[in-house]
Amino acid sequence: MRTRNAAGVMALCLGLATGLTACGGGEDPDAGTNGVGKLAPATIQDKARAAARQADAVHLSGSVLSGSAGGQGRSYRIDMRLKKDGGTGRVTSDAGSFELLRAGDELFLKADGTFWNRGDGATGGAGAAGKLNGKYVKVPTGDPAYQQLRGFTDKNVLLDGLLGLHGKLSRGAHTTVGGVRAIRVNGTDAKGTGGTLDVSLAGEPYPLRVRRAGGAGQVELGEWGKDFALSLPEKGQRVDFGGAGAGSRIPTGN
């Protein structure tokens, strides 16, 4: 009888879909989650990208390498809050550190005199740099820097560039990002690395962290859906870039 009972318990444990600790197995890492950890890796990535697009706002922080072909990329450190109609935050590169603010199509850049007066005459000399120091400088839509700088403040453009992994996808380990349970998706390309994407297992499957292929940066994403104030600078804090240095080009480092 004991042998039969023991066999029955063993059969019950082996027949359970989840590994219950009472049967001597490990705890199911997907128990109590949104379930995406059990999906195919391509599906996890698709759900993360869809959730990111639908979110009203997000906070991104980390480093990105742009134009990295041939090892000639430029590194940027970003700390941006973005939503559907604009964004605000700080960008740091070898050209210096500056703040960006965009509401609709109106884009402003704020930096100190050192950034504006880089010694190449790009902004019209020290006099113009002094006028621009600490002011919100409106970037004309026709300036070569406008589209590049706007990209840092465009939620969908920035996320689309960050969230696509390269190569063959595989489901990785369960992990945590900022205390939130997550599932990792790995990308493997011809060079052996296609980046990684950590996706939330709590609530909406938001992307929480992305490591770009080839060491081209890492960005953490959070505060999904958390609104923030976004308004144009006061007139006394604004300067028309075209009026400060006619024909000038904003020194983004390119």
Q: Does residue 25 fall inside a structural domain?
A: no
Together in a domain, 63 and 49:
no
Together in a domain, 80 and 124:
yes
Which residues does 223 contact at the CB level (< 8 Å), separation at least 6?
57, 58, 59, 81
Q: Does residue 18 fall inside a structural domain?
A: no
Together in a domain, 217 and 129:
no
Query: Among 56, 98, 64, 106, which Cα is nearest to 81's?
Result: 56
Stretches where the chain sits below pLDDT 50 are 9-22, 24, 68-71, 119-121, 244-247
Q: Does residue 29 fall inside a structural domain?
A: no
Is the pTM higher than 0.75? The answer reads yes
pLDDT for res 239 = 86
pLDDT for res 240 = 78
Together in a domain, 142 and 176:
no
pLDDT for res 5 = 54
Q: Which long-range contacts (CB under 8 A, 24 or more apart) does 67-75 make?
A: 68/214, 68/216, 73/216, 74/253, 74/254, 75/217
pLDDT for res 17 = 40
CA 89/CA 107 separation, integer angstroms? 12
Q: How many domains does the chain have?
A: 2
Q: Does residue 104 fall inside a structural domain?
A: yes
Together in a domain, 153 and 172:
no
Q: Does residue 20 fall inside a structural domain?
A: no
Q: Which amino acid is at 54?
A: Q
Query: Among 182, 159, 186, which Cα is nearest to 171's?
Result: 186
Q: CA-based angle 126:128:134, to the nearest 5?
A: 95
Together in a domain, 234 and 155:
yes
C-alpha pair distances (Å), 209 with each of 63, 71, 82, 123: 12, 24, 16, 37
Together in a domain, 134 and 237:
yes
Together in a domain, 206 and 84:
no
Q: Does residue 147 fall inside a structural domain?
A: yes
Q: Does residue 94 fall inside a structural domain?
A: yes
Helix 146-153 to helix 155-163 angle (10° resolution) is 80
Q: Does residue 13 fall inside a structural domain?
A: no
Together in a domain, 77 and 106:
yes
**Structural domain for 92, as ranges:** 58-159+228-244
Decide if 205 contacts 47 (C-beta within 8 A).
yes
Together in a domain, 93 and 41:
no
Together in a domain, 89 and 74:
yes
| Both tokens assigned to 117 | 């007066």
| Both tokens assigned to 223 | 């505060």
Together in a domain, 145 and 178:
no
